[in-house]
Structure 1
Amino acid sequence: MTRPEFALDVEAISAIPAVPVVLSMVKHLTGMRFAAVARVTDSHWVACAVDDSINFGLKPGGELVLESTICHEIRQHHNPVVFGHASVDPHYSTHHTPLAYGLESYISLPIVLADGRFFGTLCAIDSVPADLDDPAIVKTLTLFSQLIAMSLDTQGHLDTARAELSDANEHGRLREQFMAVLGHDLRTPLSAIRMSADLLATKTEDKRSLGLVAAIRQSSIRMGVLIENVLDFARGRMGGGIPVKRHLTDDLADVLAATVQEVRASQPQAIFVERISLGERVYCDPLRISQLLSNLLGNAVTHGSIATPIHLDVTQDDGQVVISVTNRGTPISARMMPLLFEPFTRSEAGGRGEGLGLGLYIASQIATAHDGTLTVNSSAESGTCFVARFPAVPQA
């Protein structure tokens, strides 16, 4: 039975597909009938892989007394040990290892990892002499031991990468769950704030108090948008995209017009010029398309020039609904373009950096969920224009 502390080492060697072939080749090259890969520490000798044709009795996980092996010496000096006829060898004829195990031929090479740590040995033994004088034998077995060491290093790197990836995935999952729970739990106190603001507005006529109530209501509206964005982001990340409920609707134009009015009321400093022309029923989720438009208009207010109008065009063209939002201001830099539709990314081009940076990400996800696209063009001459397109009718 394998000691628990060496189970991973035995498993690592068994996971290298080349090891059985290597052991077979060692036996073939040396003419010896037993070959093994051993894990050798300062206290243990453990067989990790074995090719045995002499019934020596060792299996993977089996052990020899460390001090009875020559591998114990190799661990200290990191040099190969080779002899083909122990009983006539000046040194090994009296060595305790050949005498204890009845060995005549022996070859063992160190397996040293890339960071210099000694793993063990690649070795072969037999009870009969073997011709091991050819230098090519040691060179070839040295390459085999290096191959095993490199395979162990590669496995170690893969295990580390897998562990880091697992940790990153777990951290991401917990972060997104936290965001979802946080967004959900914030809705209740926010609703109370809105209701309190509405109630206060009916109880006073003082202009200063009404101004404070309006500020509270405005802040609660903005907070509501942020919470919904957080929830949508969490849903999209954990559920494979932002969910939409599409159906044929003939009031999308009215819904979008109402969306513009809501944004206009919440952004009185901005100027909106809209043209909404939808002549047919549209297959969509009206609330999600309203959210897409609200995010695009909010982005235009935040990052565009307040001194110039924001233009909105909603039309149907060649079987598609086209929503175009254009604003003036500092153009988006080429460096920021690839990041615009990524979460938590704010444009640094002329904007005030408000919000979580989820608006454009969510808008692009809504467009994707409608089998559509969201694109952007930006230049000093024509301004910044976001265009969302999606099919107006169900696709086959």
Structure 2
Amino acid sequence: TFNWELVLNLHDIPEVLFFSGGVINDKVFIVGAENSQETRQLFEELMKITNEQATTIRNMIKDQRNETAAYDEISRLNNELVTMQREMAKKNAELDYLNKEKNRFLGMAAHDLRNPLHGILLQCDYLLQVIQEEKHKDIITSIKEASEFMVGLIEDLLDYSKIEAGEVNLDYAQVDITALVQDIIRINKPLAEQHDIALELQAEQIGHIYTDPGKISQILNNLISNAIKFSKSNTIIKVRLINRGENFTLEVQDQGKGMSLEQQEQLFKPFHKGERGLRGEKTTGLGLTIVKRIIDALGGELRIASQVGEGSTFSVTLPKIPKELQDN
């Protein structure tokens, strides 16, 4: 007679049951006295259930060991991450200090150099009036042009050092934007005409807005100056003033040499020296960097569309009323 009580007791110890089950299956069951079909089926069902339970328990133990190992690895990686974050914070603090010192030095150096250069420019203007010989005038003119370039570089350094120090001071006022753009065009026309370049304005009706007129002038003067540098003679530079509801857009489109995507990606990197103008004009490598920072401070956006050989279009979109004034 088969001892079912033994099987039930073994059921409480899955690992023993899993091993003994094979022995029972091979020995006891085959030689058992009650070898009926019903007994055989019951025994097979019992062995199937107990084997499944034993497999489940083994997998659970294995999963638990894996979870423990994974937890230990996560803890180790977390400790390494915390250490790296502390080191990065220390390095960032050092870099921030060095960056502030660099900007302070640039500001001091630029300020100290500006006044002597203005003195040189005044002397050059005087000498050009009193000197008669052309070869001497050419020398003085070269000195004046080099000094003007240095003054422009110094002004850019001063602006850049202020921007890097977070000192972009905005002086908002009610402005007739159309009249302001017309004045900027009038100032830049003589330089364009000197190189046989036409400077045209296409303006939509906008009226008065609230912005910083000095910063708008700085942005537009820079974009027009760059367009002149890279435009051939007998071409047209178009300046557009576009009404866009709560915003307005200033566009400067030239018919110059254009830029590749790689060149466009380098435009706003500080001190990046791009190609010289078509007539050998030098660049400071800071103008567009400063323009981009000013546009960001005004809550605007700058976009570029350019293809090699087909010219470039710079589009500046700005709010008619700055967000900080809207909130007030």
TM-score range, shorter chain: 0.5 to 0.7
Q: Which residue of 2 aligns with 1:178?
A: 105
For the pair 1:358 / 2:296, whether they are aligned, the reply is no
Alignment partner of 2:271: what SS?
coil
Q: Does 1:220 align with 2:147?
A: yes
Alignment of 1:178-217 (within 5 A): 178-217=105-144
Who is 1:318 aligned against? 244
User: With structure 2 as the length reference, what TM-score do the two structures score?
Assistant: 0.64
Please say which of residues 276-285 and 381-390 is displaced more in the overlay.
Answer: 276-285
Question: Is the counterpart of residue 271 in structure 1 residue 203 in structure 2?
Answer: no
Task: Give the letter aligned to residue 226 of structure 1.
Answer: L
The RMSD of aligned alpha carbons is 3.5
Amino acid at match of 2:301: T
Q: Indicate if the aligned counterparts of 1:272 and 1:311 stay in contact, CA closer than 8 A.
A: yes
Q: Distance in 1 between matches of 2:72 and 2:320?
A: 66
Q: Counterpart of 2:254 in structure 1: which amino acid?
A: N
Q: Deviations over 1:311-356 (max 9, x none)?
A: 1313241344432222234432223334422322344699879423
The corresponding residue for 1:379 is 307
**Relative contact order (C-alpha < 8 Å, sep 6+): which is higher?**
2
Q: Which has the higher strand share?
A: 1
Distance 1:236 1:339, change over 3 A: same
Give the C-alpha shift of residue 292 in structure 1.
Answer: 1.2
Distance, in Å, in 2 between the alignment partners of 1:142 and 1:359 is 57
For the 8 Å contact 2:260–2:308, the answer to whether it is kept is no
Asked if the contact 1:255–1:290 (Cα under 8 Å) also holds between the matched residues in 2, the reply is no
Aligned partner letter, 1:306:
K
Code of the residue aligned with 2:290 in structure 1: it is I
Cα gap change, 1:229/1:210 in structure 2, threshold over 3 Å: closer, same or farther?
Answer: same
Q: Which residue number in structure 1 is paired with residue 298 of structure 2?
A: 370
5 Å matches for 1:76-91?
Answer: none
Q: Is the helix fraction higher in 1 or 2?
A: 2
**Secondary structure of 2:165 counterpart:** helix
1:315–1:322 Cα contact (<8 Å) kept: yes
**Which residue is equivalent to 2:264?**
337
Matched, 1:306 2:232: yes
Distance 2:308 2:182 in 1: 33
SS of the aligned residue for 1:239 comes to: coil
Aligned to 1:388, the other structure's residue is in SS state strand
Taking only the aligned residue pairs, the percentage that are identical comes to 24
Compute the displacement of 1:177 (Å). Answer: 1.4
CA contact (8 A) 2:175 2:210 kept: yes
Classify 1:381/1:142 alpha carbon distance in 2 versus 1 (closer, same or farther; 3 Å): closer
Per the alignment, do residues 269 and 216 of structure 1 end up closer, same or farther by CA in structure 2, a change over 3 Å counting? farther
Contact conserved, 1:270 with 1:301, CA < 8 A, in 2?
no
Amino acid across the alignment from 1:164: K
User: Match for 2:238: what amino acid?
Assistant: L
| Aligned counterpart, 1:252 | 180
